[in-house]
Amino acid sequence: MKKMFLTLTATALLMGGFSAAASAEKTAPTPAVTTTTDAVVSVVANEGISSYYPNSLVSIMVTGSQIVTTARAQIGKNSGWDCSAFTQYVFNQHGISLPRVSADQATFGTAVAKSSLQPGDLVFFHSTVAGKSGVTHVGIYSGNDKMIHCPGTGDLVKEVEFITNSYWAPKYNNARRAI
């Protein structure tokens, strides 16, 4: 995984603008920065990152292990989430705005082969809801063939094996990297 460092500086804060610089361990893509008068900056790097940081100066590096740590902190809790609200919450804690429903999340970021999964990747499943086709469930890959997910609205967040699990394995659809 290429580690991305985005630094926003307030050189022109009083003039209503920000400037951005990017660096990476190897090749650094140049981010596109859009500045608005209310100081909400949208940073879009070539990695598919879309984050919003209102009224703040931010230096970020989001890793899959940070995503997994945030997800694991929710295991055993019931916050009234469904699966996609859970993933949206976890990624939002790191400034990454995911679409609301799993079918839309399944097109966000970069496609990842099952053999190339890394912690923090989103994993998607089809036909988990009776009468519905297409992507109907999402979880966060946590490593070692496991995912952290909220099985259903109001259920407890759980970490489960899914690669060879008799329920999840045949329903696996695809994976995406959002960081």
Contacts of 158 (CB under 8 A, 6+ apart): 75, 148, 149, 150, 151
Q: How confident is the model over 72-94, as a mean pLDDT?
A: 95
64-177 maps to CATH 3.90.1720.10: yes
> Does the pLDDT at position 86 exceed 70?
yes
Question: pLDDT tens for residues 104-123?
Answer: 999 999 999 999 999 999 99
Q: How confident is the model over 89-117, as a mean pLDDT?
A: 97
> Does the pLDDT at position 3 exceed 90?
no
Q: What is the pLDDT of residue 60?
A: 62
| More confident position, 54 or 154 | 154
Can you point out the beta strands (E) in the chain? 4-9, 19-24, 32-35, 40-44, 50-54, 59-60, 110-112, 122-126, 135-143, 146-149, 158-161, 172-177
Specify whether the CB–CB gap between 107 and 101 falls below 8 A.
Answer: no
| More confident position, 52 or 133 | 133
Tell me whether residue 126 is one of the annotated catalytic residues.
no
Specify whether the CB–CB gap between 4 and 30 falls below 8 A.
Answer: no
Structure-token match 């089809």, residue found: 126
Rounded Cα distance, 150 and 138, in Å: 8
Q: What is the pLDDT of residue 37?
A: 30
| More confident position, 105 or 131 | 105
Question: pLDDT tens for residues 24-67?
Answer: 333 344 444 443 333 333 343 333 444 444 444 444 689 999 99
Q: What is the pLDDT of residue 114?
A: 96
Domain positions in the chain are 4-60, 64-177
> Does the pLDDT at position 8 exceed 50?
no
Specify whether the CB–CB gap between 102 and 33 falls below 8 A.
Answer: no
Other C-beta atoms lying within 10 Å of the C-beta of residue 87: 26
